[in-house]
Chains A and B, each alone.
Chain A
Amino acid sequence: MAQMTMIQAITNAMHTELKNDENVLIFGEDVGQNGGVFRATEGLQAEYGEDRVFDTPLAESGIIGMSVGLALQDFRPVPEIQFIGFIYEAMDAINGQMARYRYRSGNTYHMPVTIRAPFGGGVHTPELHADSLEGLLTQQPGIRVVVPSTPYDAKGLLLSSIRNNDPVFFLEHMKLYRSFRGEVPEEDYTVDLDKADVKREGKDVTLIGYGAMVHQALKAADQLAEDGIEAEVIDLRTISPIDYDTIIESVKKTNRVVMIQEAQRQGGVAAAVTSEIQERAILHLEAPILRVTAPDTVYPFSQAEEVWLPNHNNIIEKVNKVMNF
């Protein structure tokens, strides 16, 4: 066991898989000699060579289109999109092409591709770096969307993603890259895709979140415990598909739900989650499901992040509402 930041765990996973599978290729803007703008690919080119880890021209559609072509030649591409806001440039290549290839070819071809991209607020990035655009991806059939919140999950989920034979979009929250360390085994291990994780057990209310909001939920749960409210915190980890078995089991125990996301209310996956819960467990609900989200504006100018981004106080407020409904 070693203490690692999330970004170290991510680098460690890529090391593991470059060694394990010669078909794995890592490429993107500045991921080679430079080691990535966040050092996620630090040292990889030096160890595995320019044939395996390489820089690309500055063109996101080209990067993902090229990934599709490399997958058609049985490689296992792990491309990087430098910041999530730049995926608009590659939306056809991702949603229009890669996600559909197994289906459009009637299972003749498949796309074992993992796209990595940083996203997420709280670090005062310039425009279109931090937006939560996962909702655009979760609406597309044929692609899984994974968002780790801890170093341990990040390594295990990234290894599972790379080994999966269908496309995975792997979203890495910038605020979580280096904000804390956690125990991460040096050896090979995986965390199952499509499975949520109960990060804290509780009996009074279920808090569901992903990415940085998991930590806000845990912080809220600590404070709520002081008032005698035991919150259960579920980290979705994979947000497409969503693990409803874990959610419903929790709802049946707590009978109250607050769904939390950093994305705007009209984005993300909060609406999908609340809708599925009411279809599957309405008779177990003591109160409406409330959502903690960002307001429906464009992502804030960096100085306004603090007042705009959802935080633990917003969560506590909503929990008090569902408790006193």
Chain B
Amino acid sequence: MKRTIEQVENQFETFQILNEDGEIVNEDAMPDLSDEDLQELMRRMVYTRILDQRSIALNRQGRLGFYAPTAGQEASQLGSHFAMEKEDFLLPAYRDVPQLIFHGLPLYQAFLFSRGHFHGNQMPEVNAVSPQIIIGAQYTQAAGVALGLKKRGKKNVAVTYTGEGGASQGDFYEGINFAGAYQAPAIFFVQNNRYAISVPAEKQTAAQTNAQKAVAAGIEGVQVDGMDVLAVYKATLDARERAVNGEGPSLIETLTYRYGPHTMAGDDPTRYRDEEEENEWEKKDPLTRFRKYLESKDLWSEEKENEIIENAKEEIKAAIKKADEQPKQKVTDLISIMHEELPANLKEQKEEYEEKESK
């Protein structure tokens, strides 16, 4: 019995291209990226790190609402998104706002999502839905989107994310199993950042990897160093290629870490994580190692990074201002977006609130 489990687990070795020192350790797997692509990837990661720092600060000032920190997960989030095409459909979880922004959601709308304003969720010609709060629901929906793409004959994929805690949900399994049964073009990510709020990954499952859960659906499973942007990008690109060629869905586990709390709503990670572990993961910082790699190729400089940081701060400032200028929500607005044709109860209530709002 034990032997069988070991045999299975041996199939899921961690895929890595770039080590902690920024050295290429798997030349054969190196994705075909131009110098500009490599710089763009770094730009996005730096931008997102700044966005995280500013979002935390803005949240503390009460200028943002719900916020789930992303620092540490840049390679996992942006490396995977970089392999997506604009026509691919994104179903993010609540921590996956960066992918949504790079898929086309204006930053001020991402801020409105955080604050709790419907305009934040109004996708402007972006193939995506707003961040999912019910852990697992995005997985079954992704299976449906992927089946839809397949039925429409499109060469596109549905991409969705959850955490390692989410991989314990029923919808997680149903999502990958449905996509497998229909050989639908979906890519399912498990961003394993070690903790579901305070519960460590070891308490979610006795399985040694989350990637091996793909076996239960009979689909491709890959475990990737989630702090290595090149490995995440490459694994996603390969999964995308398989999917659009009709070879079905993939499950990709990225081993990553969040440096911050679970959310800004009072979570304190020092209650459940020790400093030693945090320091260990700091050494794996996806920005540090990719910076080293780009510097060794003369593609990066401090000036370049500072310019990105300044631009990011300016954009964030402008976006918050634009969010501030958004008209306040009225009850009649909320009623109007319930149905195409309002039922009688809502017609009545709309009239009632129109009168109140006109005073």
Q: Which residues of A contact B (CB under 8 A)?
A: 51, 56-57, 59, 61-62, 64-75, 92-93, 96-97, 102-110, 141-142, 144, 164-166, 194, 240-245
Measured CA separation A193–B125 after assembly (Å): 32
Q: Is the Cβ of B134 less than 8 Å from the Cβ of A194?
A: no
**Which residue of A64, A70, A75, A96 is within 8 Å of B134 (Cβ)?**
A96
Give the residues in chain B near A57, CB-CB below 8 Å: 174, 177-178, 181
- Name which residue of chain B comes closest to A65, CB basis: B140
Contact status B338-A105, CB under 8 Å: no
Interface-central residue, B134, B340, B346, by most chain A CB under 10 Å = B340
By a CB distance below 8 angstroms, the chain B residues around A51 are 151
Which A-B residue pairs are the 7 nearest by beta carbons? A69-B144, A65-B140, A73-B148, A62-B174, A241-B343, A66-B144, A106-B122
B260 within 8 A of A: no
- Could you write out 10 A-B pairs with CB less than 8 Å apart? A56-B178, A64-B140, A65-B140, A65-B143, A65-B175, A66-B144, A71-B144, A73-B149, A104-B130, A110-B340
A324 CA / B314 CA spacing, docked (Å):
77
- Residues of B at under 8 Å CB distance from A? 89, 118-119, 121-123, 129-130, 134, 137, 139-149, 151-152, 158, 170-171, 174-175, 177-178, 181, 334, 336-341, 343-346
CA distance A117 to B32 in the complex (A): 51
Q: Which residue of B lies closest to A244 (CB)?
A: B344
Determine if A106 and B337 form an interchain contact, defined as CB atoms under 8 angstroms apart: yes
Closest to A67 in B: B144
Q: How many A-B residue pairs have CB under 8 A?
A: 137
* Residue from B140, B334, B343, B346 whose CB has the most chain A CB atoms within 10 Å: B140
Assess whether A96 is in contact with B144, with CB atoms less than 8 Å apart: no
Given contact pairs A166-B339, A166-B340, A245-B344, A69 touches B148 in the complex (Cβ within 8 A): yes
Within 8 Å by CB of B174, from A61, A141, A241, A243, lies: A61
Known pairs A66-B178, A93-B137, A106-B119; list 19 more (Cβ under 8 Å). A56-B178, A57-B181, A59-B170, A59-B177, A65-B171, A66-B141, A66-B143, A68-B141, A69-B143, A69-B144, A69-B146, A70-B148, A73-B149, A102-B338, A104-B130, A106-B122, A108-B123, A109-B129, A241-B344
Contacts of B148 in A (CB 8 A): 69-70, 72-75
**B178 pairs with A72, CB closer than 8 A:** no
Report yes or no: B145 in contact with A73, Cβ–Cβ below 8 A. Answer: yes
* Known contacts A75-B151, A103-B118: A62-B178 contact under CB 8 Å: yes
Question: Once bound together, how far apart are the Cα atoms of A153 and B359, in whole Å?
Answer: 44
Q: Closest residue of chain A to B334, judged by CB?
A: A103
B137, B151, B337, B341: the one within 8 Å of A96 (CB): B137
B144 surroundings in chain A (CB, below 8 A): 65-73
Which B residues are in CB contact (< 8 Å) with A56? 178, 181
Instruction: State whether A72 touches B145 (Cβ < 8 A).
Output: yes
B141 touches A72 (CB 8 A): yes
- Interface pair A69/B158, CB less than 8 Å apart: yes
Docked CA distance A97–B149 (Å) = 20
Please give me the residue from chain B that is nearest to A166 by CB atom.
Answer: B339
- Across the two chains, which residue of chain A brings its CB closest to B143? A66
Q: Are A102 and B337 in contact (CB under 8 A)?
A: yes
CB distance from B330 to the nearest CB of A (A): 13
Identify A165's interface contact among B122, B137, B338, B340, CB under 8 A. B340
Residue of A69, A72, A166, A244 with highest tally of chain B CB at under 10 A = A69
From A105, which residue of chain B is reached at the shortest CB distance?
B121
State whether A65 touches B141 (Cβ < 8 A).
yes
Q: How far is the CA of A73 from the CA of B148 in the complex (A)?
A: 6
- Residue from A72, A102, A194 with most neighbouring chain B CB atoms (10 Å): A72
A105 in complex: contacting residue of B130, B137, B141, CB < 8 Å: B130
- Nearest Cβ on chain A to B157's Cβ, whole angstroms: 12
A62 and B147 alpha carbons, distance in the complex (Å): 12
User: Can you name the residue of chain B whose Cβ is closest to the Cβ of A56?
Assistant: B178
Given the contacts A69-B141, A70-B144, A92-B137, A61 and B171 also touching, CB distance less than 8 Å: yes
Considering residues A65, A75, A110, A165, which has the most beta carbons from chain B within 10 angstroms of its beta carbon?
A65
Given contacts A103-B338, A109-B129, is CB(A69)–CB(B134) below 8 Å? no
Contacts of A141 in B (CB 8 A): 338
Set A142, A164, A245: member contacting B338, Cβ < 8 A:
A142
